[in-house]
Amino acid sequence: MKKLKFKNGDQLDAIGLGTWKSEKGEVTQAVKTALNNGYKHIDCAAVYDNEAEVGEAFEEVFGEGEIKREDIWITSKLWNNAHKKEDVIPALKKTLKDLKLDYLDLYLIHWPVAFKPEVGFPEKAEDYLSLEEAPLIETWNEMLKAKEQGLVKHIGVSNFSIPKLKELMKDTDHAPEMNQVELHPYLQQNELLEFCSKNGINVTAYSPLGSGDRPDQMKAENEPSLLEIPTITKIAKKHGATPGQILIKWSEQRGTAVIPKSTNEGRIKENLASAGYQLDEEDMKAIADLDKHFRFVTGKFFETEGNSYDNIYDD
Ligand code: NDP
């Protein structure tokens, strides 16, 4: 499997396990299955409301002693209601407590959007903090402090467009080490990938399979299914792989990390096994032609009339 490299020499296995929407009653087993079958990369977030259950898996697996904490890469994310500088490190400490860890490998600012501390999910314009009230650079400087304190090894962002990255980078000497964004054949993000590559920022692809288990209110009408795109099913057939494996392999082969979510034992194993395939030039060209700038996670749920976030992705 490909590895992503960091400036200090650390390396990240490209294929990891996503945990958004993984039910509390299922996620402990899913993470144990993943770790016991060779995954070395787990993606978490405070807002997934299952970090305590993910932590039970870490406690059990690391406690058994065969798999060591230092060989596994664990990412989590700062939720949007903890952007104020006094809230960042306490939020991180809560995540560490839930995950039953001493440190994270990577901590990300989940969205370039800030809510008031008491708001879990906003409903009206007053629930938000403007970028003037919670400047991203102040949040970022706290992330840097967390790194200095050894609470996290690497820091980065998520859902940041090129303008948002530039905005942050003009005020700091410490560029994000990772940008986690939606990425799949219908949203290939070539410009963003090029910008990140030039600036030494690694990229992680989220929703690589089209996020079919999102809540209905987050779905558009007649949403396409990535797993049923004829080009993908044809390439899958040619390699004796599943469509999911082709989607995952495509991301890995392009040099990004990729974090498919599953709580199903067979699919957890199947997704990691994607690394064993190789797409040829013809496959890569056929998939490159599929791009249509289609987002599953539109960010529209943050666009409440009157708040400061009416164009999250700067599209
Ligand atoms: P994915 O694109 O990973 O799709 C998950 C869905 O695909 C589930 O229904 C899962 O079902 C199914 N599935 C898993 N493997 C296969 C397979 N091989 N073949 C067919 N179906 C399959 O969606 P997510 O949106 O969950 O994205 C992945 C991860 O990325 C998240 O879990 C989260 O960790 C991260 N993420 C980050 C975001 C951010 O803002 N930073 C936003 C969105 C996601 P089943 O479980 O039954 O296998």
* Complex prediction ipTM: 0.99
Q: Which residues contact 230 (CB under 8 A, 6 or more apart)?
A: none
Considering Cα of 23, then 71, then 80, then 260, what sign does the dihedral take? negative
Q: 184: Cβ below 6 Å to ligand 1? A: no
Which amino acid residue places its CA nearest to atom 19 of ligand 1? 244
**148: CA distance to ligand 1 center in Å?**
32
Q: What is the pLDDT of residues 113-128, one digit of tens each?
A: 999 999 998 989 999 9
Residue 19 Cα: closest atom of ligand 1: 32
- Residue among 207, 229, 248, 271 whose CB has most ligand 1 atoms within 8 A, to mutate: 207
Which of 20-34, 109-123, 296-310 bottoms out in mean pLDDT, i.e. has the lowest?
Answer: 296-310
pLDDT bin (cut points 50, 70, 90) of residue 260 is very high
Q: What is the pLDDT of residues 96-116, one digit of tens each?
A: 999 999 999 999 999 999 999
How far apart are the C-alpha atoms of 157 and 112, rounded to whole Å?
A: 8
Q: 50: Cβ below 6 Å to ligand 1? A: no
**290: CA distance to ligand 1 center in Å?**
20
DSSP state of 129: E
Which amino acid residue places its CA nearest to atom 46 of ligand 1? 262
- Residue among 78, 211, 250, 297 whose CB has most ligand 1 atoms within 8 A, to mutate: 211
Q: What is the pLDDT of residues 186-219, one digit of tens each?
A: 999 999 999 999 999 999 999 999 999 999 888 9
How far apart are the C-alpha atoms of 138 and 228, rounded to whole Å?
A: 44
CATH of domain 3-302: 3.20.20.100
Question: Is position 110 annotated in a ligand binding site?
Answer: yes
How far apart are the C-alpha atoms of 35 and 194, rounded to whole Å?
A: 32
pLDDT bin (cut points 50, 70, 90) of residue 131 is confident
**296: CA distance to ligand 1 center in Å?**
11
How far apart are the C-alpha atoms of 245 and 267, rounded to whole Å?
A: 10
Is 223 in contact with 296 (CB distance < 8 Å)?
yes
H helical segments located in 218-308: 230-239, 243-253, 265-272, 281-288
Q: 4: Cβ below 6 Å to ligand 1? A: no
* Mean local confidence (pLDDT), 46-70: 98
Task: Look at residue 84 and tell me whether its pLDDT is greater than 90.
Answer: yes
Task: Look at residue 24 and tell me whether its pLDDT is greater than 90.
Answer: yes
Residue 270 Cα: closest atom of ligand 1: 18
Q: 212: Cβ below 6 Å to ligand 1? A: yes
Task: Look at residue 308 and tell me whether its pLDDT is greater than 80.
Answer: no
Which amino acid residue places its CA nearest to atom 4 of ligand 1? 211
Active centre residues (catalytic): 48
Q: 79: Cβ below 6 Å to ligand 1? A: no
Q: 85: Cβ below 6 Å to ligand 1? A: no
Which amino acid residue places its CA nearest to atom 42 of ligand 1? 206
How far apart are the C-alpha atoms of 31 and 52, rounded to whole Å?
A: 12
Is 225 in contact with 210 (CB distance < 8 Å)?
yes
Q: What percent of the chain has pLDDT over 70?
A: 100
Q: Which residues pair with 268 in a beta bridge?
A: none
Burial of residue 106 (CB within 10 Å: 0-12, 13-18, 19+) is buried
Q: 271: Cβ below 6 Å to ligand 1? A: yes
**Prediction pTM value:** 0.98
